[in-house]
Amino acid sequence: MTPTKDASAGHAPRRWPAWIGDVVAAVLIVVAAAASYPGHDLLPGNPLGFAAAVAPAAILPLRRRWPIPVLAACVVLFAVAAFTGALGDGLELATAIAVFGVAVRTDRRTTLITAVVTAVLLVGIGLLSGIASPFEPRTFQYAVTIGFAAAAGEATRSRRAYIAAITERAVRAEETRESEARRRVAEDRLRIARDLHDAVAHQISVISLNAGVASSALESRPEAAREALSTIRSAARAVLGEIGDLLAMLRAEDSGGASDAVGPAPQPGLDRLDELVARFRESGLEVTLRVDGDLARLPVATDLVAYRVLQEALTNAHKHGAEHRVHILVEVRPDAARLVVRNPVATGASATATASGAGHGLLGIRERVASVRGTVEAGPAPGGYRLTVTLPLPSDRVDPRHPSPQPGTDELR
């Protein structure tokens, strides 16, 4: 159900203007006052009683602004009409309408107190004026009519409050949905930027370094220049392939997960660590790699994070390392995977930038590691720069991609 404009303002939707109800109530009150039936004939000889009987028709429209004073005036007019012998059904109807107006515009406690006090006053006026006896049905009629008017007003007020509440929730949900959409867009932008950085940063670094080698050795060492150009070509192909895989993955997400004839390439993991190390060795970086434990125990998300961390660490070591050497330890424990990367760094501005974690590389590492609830320690260490990453592993995990170790195989250390 879609709330109407009136509902959004906290009021129930109306099918007709408010003044139409006031006119109908006034007509009923005047007709009841002017009607002639046994025991009730006001026009010939009781002008005061007639005036008291028809006065509520003029004051009831004011109940929307002053609900309780209008109700008090109706009770006073009820008493005047009762003691002058001119009490009719019109005044009882007017008092009930006034009680309804109080219930709609006040809280439940005020409505209950007002209804009880009004019912007691009407019954007391009826008994004191002599128009009703304690056991006459008309005495109970006053209390029942006031109670029904109060209950109807309370129900109307509750319904209006309910409509206002659900309208407010709908507006708040719409605002929340827009905020959530903006947050997801920001996260997607960050993820794309991180993936693009991971895909091209180390290859661009390799291209840049080898371009420098080729330019300096073009005349004096042509063979070294040709080898550097060959490395540049391989790195360019690799980076174009990784960018193509990234774009294919993004297109698959934009199309709602619909798969093409050839799906996007899977995300890399530590099963491609030897290939990664080989590429850096070809570019002139001396890499010492040690792997302790079963890499197959890493979950898919942790495996990807570990690969990207080592990829970025090797890129930084290649760019900032002093001797083009790096030592890597990959240790898989029962509760966590630990990655340690150490390399010498040059003195001066380059070392200062590396030690302070300037640039987006270390920031990207921290963000990726935080996504799997890991920890990062980075900073100067004896012999150069040290990066230590700890990635927690779930206990007793069975990866469907890899069978469990057969009896007789080496246990994890």
pLDDT digits (tens, 9 = 90+) for 217-269: 777 888 878 887 887 887 787 777 777 776 776 666 555 544 444 444 567 78
- Write down the pLDDT at residue 331: 92
- Write down the pLDDT at residue 253: 59
- Write down the pLDDT at residue 346: 67
- Write down the pLDDT at residue 388: 93
Residues 17 and 73 sit within 8 Å (Cβ to Cβ) = no
- Write down the pLDDT at residue 11: 46
CA 405 vs. chain centroid, Å, equals 44
Low-confidence ranges of the chain (pLDDT < 50): 1-13, 44, 257-264, 349-358, 397-413
Under DSSP, is residue 3 helix (H, G, I), strand (E, B) or coil?
Answer: coil
Token pair 């300037």 is at which residue? 358
Question: How far apart are the C-alpha atoms of 154 and 5, rounded to whole Å?
Answer: 22
Question: How far apart are the C-alpha atoms of 264 and 241, rounded to whole Å?
Answer: 11
pTM over 0.85: no
- Write down the pLDDT at residue 15: 58
Domain ranges for the chain: 5-172, 278-406
- Write down the pLDDT at residue 383: 76
- Write down the pLDDT at residue 36: 55
Tell me which fold the domain 278-406 belongs to. Answer: Heat Shock Protein 90 (3.30.565)
List, for residues 330-356, the tens digit of each pLDDT value.
999 989 999 999 988 766 544 444 444
- Write down the pLDDT at residue 410: 39
- Write down the pLDDT at residue 142: 79
Question: How far apart are the C-alpha atoms of 153 and 245, rounded to whole Å?
Answer: 66
> Which among 110, 113, 55 is positioned nearest to 84, based on CA atoms?
55
Question: How far apart are the C-alpha atoms of 283 and 201, rounded to whole Å?
Answer: 14
